[in-house]
Amino acid sequence: MAEFKEISPNASAGAKLSNWFENRFPSAISGWKYHVSEYYAPKNFNFWYFFGSLALLVLVIQIVTGIFLVMHYKPDAALAFASVEYIMRDVPWGWLMRYMHSTGASAFFVVVYLHMFKGLIYGSYRKPRELVWLFGCSIFLVLMAEAFMGYLLPWGQMSYWGAQVIVNLFSAIPFIGPDLAILIRGDYVVSDATLNRFFSFHVIAVPLVLLGLVVAHLLALHDVGSNNPDGVEIKGPNALKDEQGRPVDGIPFHPYYTVHDLLGVSVFLMAFSAVIFFAPEFGGYFLEYNNFIPADPLKTPAHIAPVWYFTPYYSMLRAVTSQMVYALVAIAVVAAAVVILRGRLPGLVKIGVAVVTAIAIALLLAIDAKFWGVVVMGGAVIILFFLPWLDASPVKSIRYRPGWHKWVYGVFVVNFLVLGYLGVQPPSPGGERIAQLGTLFYFGFFLLMPWWSRLGEFKPVPERITFAAH
């Protein structure tokens, strides 16, 4: 047992209370010091670094509002829609809880997408933060599962039919697909069993996993230190430190960045409140109009589409047709030919490339295109996990990369937004072609990154971070 720390009898009441608490729970105080008050962060954070703390804020909003919603929600196919209407109309402030939760779901993905983009442009996934990035990608994947399961719970038309479409995708998996789809649904169609399964996962299982990953993400981040817009390390054996061993280019997270983040929180809450009170449906993107109609298994909506934050991946799914498969075969043949004819590889390796390519082509042609659409949709998320090993750039931050790299990242963002827009729209021949090109660019951006990220003239990275007081 640790020795009690004495305090002067003339100390203030606050100091006495703090001393009393520290003597009885010293690990909490040491944790506060390690992760907040004595955690040194780079002093050149910009507005891109708001989104990590905002994601944590939205997570708290979702948990708190979710608790209040669960008090009145009925996970029963015959009562679910009516219970949501009861919350909206009769429960005091129930409409506010529901709109905060639905708006919070979209806000969560907004801040997470922006947080991931910050990591992309500043190289926050590079050594020594590979594990931080892997935890972050896992959070994104689990968040998608949480949002999808919660989307079914209102038991509206789009909830029902959206779940029907997405769950049926699993049936495209060879051999195990049909049984897997039945296992997920708990029935041969989306039904009360599906609703109960999704409710239990949405309320209990997935949030526990999500919270665990968030804690792991923050612990891993604070162990290796935060990245910064210059990509210069302020921790580690080669970092500049003062006589006390503190980073010369760092400042304590508290009070500097806790106050700094209050600016981002204030702006975010103003925008968040504006949506809740003036446009909670956000033109049908946050809450689709079909979801205000009770689920009807006998009446299919004219156009079924997921919520906006899934639409880029849904667009990639729809882009994979039989014609797209032939295009992928052609790309595989060209890529293999380039490696074999121009690559300086041993003969056995070239033979191996030819064999693997032949097997890949045979599988592409033998298995239905619907399955490959599912693979592409899943691969679009999974490929993010490999980013730390795909980027071969000699510098981390976009600030010190060639100017044309910024255009590549810009086109990537525009392409992602276009895919998201096409995923909302009804299928059309023109949209299908654009989605196919966008899908190829999305995967080309990552798969060709070991090549293009090394090209160009890089600027020298300073030894210390660049900082201007403001």
Between CA 181 and CA 439 the distance in angstroms is 26
Count Cβ atoms within 10 A of the Cβ of residue 429 and give its class: 0-12 exposed, 13-18 middle, 19 or more buried: exposed
What letter would DSSP give residue 294? B
Residue 445, SS3 per DSSP? helix
Q: Is 101 annotated as a binding residue?
A: yes
Q: Is 222 annotated as a binding residue?
A: yes
Residue 128: cis peptide before it, omega within 30 degrees of 0: yes
Q: Is 202 annotated as a binding residue?
A: yes
* DSSP code per residue over 378-405: HHHHHGGGGHHHH---SSSSGGGS-HHH
Residue 253: C-alpha distances to residues 11, 32, 39, 266, 271 (Å):
27, 11, 6, 18, 25
* Measured CA angle at 133 (ends 248, 228), to 5 deg: 25
DSSP H or E stretch at residue 252: strand 250-252
CB atoms within 10 A of CB 286: 21
DSSP H or E stretch at residue 152: helix 130-152
Closest CA to 231 of 116, 385, 383, 120: 120
Closest CA to 132 of 115, 148, 146, 151: 115
Tokens of 340: 């074999």
Between CA 312 and CA 297 the distance in angstroms is 27
Residue given tokens 């080309």 in the structure block: 444
The sign of the torsion formed by the CA atoms of 64, 65, 70, 71 equals positive
Which residues are part of a known binding site for heme b?
101, 115, 202, 217
The annotation places the binding site at: 101, 115, 202, 217, 222
Annotated binding site for a ubiquinone: 222
